[in-house]
Amino acid sequence: MLTEYQRDHIEVVLVSPRNPLNIGAAARAMANFGFGRLAVVAPYAPNWREARSAVGAPELLKDATEFTTLAEAVADCTLVAGTGTLAHRKPEQPVVPLPEFSPRVERELARGGRVALVFGPEKHGLTRQDLSYCHVLVEVPTDVRQPSMNLGQAVAVCLYELASRASFPNANKQDESRVIPSAVSGSLDRLAEVIEETMLTVDYSPVSIREAYRHDLRLLLRKMALAEPDTRRLMGLFRRILWRLQHANNNSGTSGKPK
Q: Which residues on adjacent β-strands are paired with residue 13?
A: 39, 118
Instruction: Report pLDDT for 147.
Output: 77
> Against a cut of 0.85, is the pTM above it?
yes
Residues 6+ apart with CB under 8 A from 179: 110, 111, 112
Q: Give me the amino acid identity at 42.
A: A
The closest of 223, 225, 249 to 91, measured between CA atoms, is 223
Give the integer Cα–Cα distance in Å for 57 and 258: 64
Q: What is the pLDDT of residue 257?
A: 46
Q: What does the buried/exposed string (b/e) look like for 132-166 if buried means 16 or more CB atoms within 10 Å of the residue's CB?
A: bbbbbbbbbebeeeebebebbebbbbbbebbbebe
pLDDT value at position 238? 94
Give me the DSSP letters along 168-202.
---SSPPPGGG--PBPPHHHHHHHHHHHHHHHHHT
Domain positions in the chain are: 4-176, 183-255
What is the CATH architecture of 4-176? 3-Layer(aba) Sandwich (3.40)
**What pLDDT is attached to residue 169?**
54
Per residue in 113-122, pLDDT tens?
A: 999 999 999 8
Residues of the chain with pLDDT under 70: 166-178, 252-259
pLDDT by residue (tens digit) across 232-249?
Answer: 999 999 999 999 998 887
State residue 253's pLDDT score.
58
* Phi-psi category of residue 203: left, alpha or beta, with phi > 0 → left and psi -120 to 50 → alpha: left
CA 52 to chain centre: 28
Contact 133, 80 (CB under 8 A): yes
Dist. CA 73–CA 84, nearest whole Å = 19
pLDDT of residue 85: 83
